[in-house]
């Protein structure tokens, strides 16, 4: 399985201009700072939904693709068809492990929300691996978004799962939580 970053639609300047509109200020001209971007993402204010991330998985197991298709808010999915008239293979004969291509366009809010569920240790290892591959693919171009895409226990500061993995009781968790929260009120 391979994840490829296909680019960003919408700019941070546009996000900042929309944020200025909401507080009755005029559009700016300078690029927002990394710290401002991180704060906007952590605050999850509506202008972050203008930042759209395009990615594509190659050779993703069909059943893993289904996990991602369940996410509907702020994301659009395009998955290679398994229709018999397109593939020449009877759909009923295809195993769940059949490999598909899966492309998506997601706004920054959706990226945060999906990370909360798909980075959780209770998610299947294959699904976690696929989402981590997406985050690694965007890391260089969108480092602020990459840093706020965390599992739910980090996001919330505790684990609420019925069957906890116990990660929230570890020193590593405390370290990651402190790192996630750093700079919030500075």
pLDDT band at 185 (very low <50, low <70, confident <90, very high): low
Q: Which residues sit opposite 99 in a β-bridge?
A: 61
Query: Do 94 and 106 fall within a single domain?
Result: yes
- 27-41 pLDDT, tens digit per residue, is 778 899 999 999 999
* 146 neighbors 135 (Cβ within 8 angstroms): yes
Query: Do 174 and 88 fall within a single domain?
Result: no
- 14-71 pLDDT, tens digit per residue, is 999 999 999 888 877 889 999 999 999 999 999 999 999 999 999 999 999 999 999 9
- 109-168 pLDDT, tens digit per residue, is 999 999 999 999 999 999 999 999 999 999 999 999 999 999 999 999 999 999 999 999
Query: Do 85 and 114 fall within a single domain?
Result: yes
| Average pLDDT value over all residues in the chain | 94
Domain that holds residue 179: 152-186
Q: Determine the Cα angle at 152 with ends 151 and 157, to 5°.
A: 110
Helices (H) and strands (E) in the chain, counts: 9, 4
* Per-residue pLDDT, 57: 98
pLDDT band at 81 (very low <50, low <70, confident <90, very high): confident
* 61 contact partners, CB below 8 Å, separation of at least 6: 1, 96, 97, 98, 99, 100, 126
- Count of the separate structural domains present in the chain: 2
E runs forming strands in 86-139: 99-107
Nearest CA to 134 among 55, 51, 49?
Answer: 55
Query: Do 138 and 161 fall within a single domain?
Result: no
Query: Do 145 and 162 fall within a single domain?
Result: no
CA-CA distances (angstroms) from residue 100 to 40, 75, 83, 92? 34, 18, 12, 15
């Amino acid at each position: 399985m391979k994840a490829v970053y296909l680019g960003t639609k919408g700019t941070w300047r546009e996000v900042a201009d929309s944020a200025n509109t909401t507080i009755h200020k005029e559009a700016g001209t300078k690029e927002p700072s990394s710290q401002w971007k991180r704060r906007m993402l952590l605050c999850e204010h509506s202008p972050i939904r203008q930042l759209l991330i395009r990615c594509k998985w190659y050779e993703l197991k069909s059943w893993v693709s289904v996990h991602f298709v369940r996410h509907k808010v702020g994301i659009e999915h395009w998955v290679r068809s398994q229709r018999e008239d397109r593939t020449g293979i009877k759909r009923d004969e295809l195993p769940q492990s059949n490999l598909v291509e899966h492309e998506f366009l997601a706004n920054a809010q959706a990226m945060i929300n999906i990370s909360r569920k798909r980075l959780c240790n209770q998610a299947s290892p294959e699904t976690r691996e696929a989402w981590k591959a997406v985050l690694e693919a965007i890391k260089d171009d969108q480092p602020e978004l990459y840093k706020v895409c965390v599992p739910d226990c980090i996001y919330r500061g505790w684990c609420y799962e019925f069957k906890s993995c116990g990660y929230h009781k570890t020193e590593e968790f405390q370290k990651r939580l402190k790192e996630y929260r750093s700079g919030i009120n500075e």
